[in-house]
Amino acid sequence: MNRKQEKLFIVALSVLLAFVGDTAYAGRGDKVGTPAAPELLIPVGSREIALGGSSLSTTSGIEAIYWNPAGVARTSFGTEALFSHMTYIDDIGVEYAAVTSSFSGFGTVGLSIKSLSFGDIEITTEDAPDGTGQTFSPAYLTIGLTYSTLLTDRISVGVTTKLISERIDRVSATGVAFDAGIQYSGFANVAGLSIGVAVKNLGAPMQFDGSGLLREASVEDTRRPASNYKIQASSDELPSVFEFGVGYRYSFEERNAFSFSTLFQNNNFSDDEYKFGLEYGYDNTIFIRGGYNLSQESVQDSYIFGTTLGAGFHYAFSGLDLAIDYAFRDVKFFSSNHTFSLKLGF
């Protein structure tokens, strides 16, 4: 690391930490399940999920939008597109699509959309606990705009602005969140060694509103007839996280490559997490991946995520780069998660 790169990294890291401010807390297992917009924590993209979500320091290209926006600029393509589908807990579908374009002298810009599909849910009320015969379908949508650039050949930075929209029957909520990250490859002048830092889901609390909060009631000691009054829903904070990761890639005999990555994640609404991932690639065509997640809650056997596995196939032809990936994530108490992804590079 020369002095210029060292200064740039320190400045970028200082700015990133300034984003954190008072939002970084020690892990809080007693607050699990209480944040707004928990869908922000649902991962996307098969490659990184198969690596246990540990690739903060090594993720690159379009797949880095969710994991570390600093890696988006590390692409060899002018344009990339990614489509992903996950079968999440209790048959919830997670659909994700993204596209990025690189502009010489400016950086890389990306647009991403993540939506959750719950299917039809029967409406129940106090008067009809067995159902009214009507149904509703919640709509959860997150739209992100990402900018990433290389400060030097080794240091990259990135930021994502996310618009969050939630609708459940006759109530809805909207919010804005921010992700920011840094990557440093060739750290300490060691070829293949990378570090990454990111803060995610920083933003103002969210609050539900809508006609579903109206209730008919009468006020005592008045002569007014029963009227509609609106319940004031409480506001809840976003599930902010701070992450630090280290990765190392080693190639041998030209066609073989191993990469190892690890990550520490500090959560403001759950216990801290530790993630590990390992990937073997042959001729940049066939990939085998595995990972493992653990938490302080693991001691109490209440942390639901653990082993991850996956595989990928990469092929380039006629100016088109194609990658197909699959990931499996073991989940306690629920059905395992399965993710399929298709990536195109032009």
**Residue pLDDT, tens place only, 261-275:** 999 999 988 889 999
Torsion-angle region of residue 63: left (phi > 0), alpha (psi -120 to 50) or beta? alpha
Q: In whole numbers, what is the pLDDT of the chain averaged over residues?
A: 89
Q: What is the pLDDT of residue 35?
A: 87
Query: pLDDT for 154-211, tens place per residue?
Result: 999 999 999 999 999 889 999 999 999 999 999 888 999 999 999 999 999 999 999 8
Could you say which DSSP state residue 12 is in?
A: H
In order, the DSSP letters of 209-221 are BSGGGEEEE--TT
Residue-range domain boundaries for the chain: 3-345
Interatomic CA distance for residues 289 and 308, integer angstroms:
8
Q: Give this prediction's pTM.
A: 0.89
Q: With H, G, I as helix, E, B as strand and everything else as coil, classify residue 89.
A: helix
pLDDT in tens, 333-344: 889 999 999 999
Cβ within 8 Å of residue 71, ≥6 positions away: 58, 59, 60, 61, 63, 64, 148, 156, 158, 181, 183, 196
What would the CATH number be for the domain defined by 3-345?
2.40.160.60
Q: Are strands 93-103 and 135-136 parallel, antiparallel or unpaired?
A: unpaired
Which pLDDT score, from 0 to 100, does residue 66 have?
A: 97
Task: Name residues whose C-beta falls within 8 Å of residue 296's C-beta, 6 or more positions apart in sequence.
Answer: 27, 29, 271, 272
